[in-house]
A and B are shown apart, each in its own frame.
Chain A
Amino acid sequence: MMERSYEKYFREGRLPHIWCPGCGNGLAMKAIVMAIEEKGLPQDETVIVSGIGCSSRASGYMDFDTLHTAHGRAIPFATGIKLANPRLHVIVITGDGDCTAIGGNHFIHGCRRNVDLTVIMFNNEIYGMTGGQGSPTTPLDRLTTTAPYGTSVRPFDACHIAMAAGATYVGRSTAYHVRHLAKLIGEGIDNKGFSFIEAYVQCPTAYGRKNRLGSGADMMKHMRDSAVMLSAWEKLPADKRQGKFPIGCFLKREVEDFNTSYEELVDRAGGVR
């Protein structure tokens, strides 16, 4: 067999990865390296930055310059990297808890600043690593260890937050739609500004089991059957949208990125760069 070309982006000695059987994180990680390969990003000019969580462990398996940071803080670290060396391609891997709970402020201000980062949020709708506490993206009425009678608070839609906060590329796909997800990540890489891609991933262990959602494969079948491409979604009447969700690119806009405006500011202030 010819070794698959994406294997060169993995730290072979670190595999098999630690994720549970059927966990979707491996598929989101695969989509990222597919996009990196497609876009031809040089391995030594690409930095992967992650926070803390099962999803954030991805950086440890990827053969780039990688930074596994503090919980919720991947975006500020990545911002520092991009400011210090604008030539680098900076990709952030974060979880739904990492990004929208403890890291929520960093997330919205990263969007507002329009830092040229590609942020991929692995959304498993739960805190996987710590055993299934509810996250801000846990849907209503789901069972979690912190909501034994079901969640009673409405979830965040992280894509809506990113759009409202000023991100310049926003999209969503799922672990089942690996190629589609890779395509969106590639478009995020192309965008010079803050790109946010939500990747739905299954957590059969800390979420699926408690909510009787079945195996990892069952959870992926659910993604296959309930995700609707945006163009079709827009034509769906409200009653047909029940239990379904849109995937695709939701927003793309041209706004000067943080590095460019910062350089202009340095010039205006008569500084040296």
Chain B
Amino acid sequence: MSVFTIREERCKGCGICVAFCPKNVLEVDALSKVHAVRPEDCIGCGQCELLCPDFAIFVDKMDREAAK
């Protein structure tokens, strides 16, 4: 279970996070903002956060207990 923080004012919709997500969790909308459309598939690898050149997406992995 992951918690996403997307700072929309920083996101430019470049699609880098989308392209490097191994689980196809993310999509960019018509307004060029990214969304976690399949959050349940996220494995919390952190690639999207690491490779975002705009410091716009952050993923925090919650352990199962904390998520309850």
Contacts and interface: CB of A to CB of B under 8 A. Distances in A.
A15 B12 contact: no
B51 A27 contact: yes
Contacts of A15: 10, 55
A4 B9 contact: no
Given A1-B3, A16-B12, A221 B51 contact: no
Interface in B7-37: 9-10, 12-16, 18-20, 32
A25 B53 contact: yes
Given A2-B60, A22-B14, A215-B14, A16 B53 contact: no
A26 B53 contact: yes
Nearest to A215: B15
A21 B5 contact: no
B63 to A, nearest CB: 15
Interface residues of B, number: 22
B19 A221 contact: yes
A200 interface: no
Contact of A26 (B13, B55, B58): B55
Among B5, B16, B54, the most chain A Cβ lie within 10 Å of the Cβ of B16
Contacts, number: 63
Nearest to B20: A217
Contacts of A21: 12-14, 32
B43 interface: no
Interface string A1-17: 11010010010000111
Given A1-B5, A1-B60, A21-B32, A16 B54 contact: yes
B50 interface: yes
A178 B19 CA distance: 16
Contacts of B5: 1
B27 to A, nearest CB: 13
A20 B54 CA distance: 10
Interface of B: 3, 5, 9-10, 12-16, 18-20, 32, 50-56, 58, 60
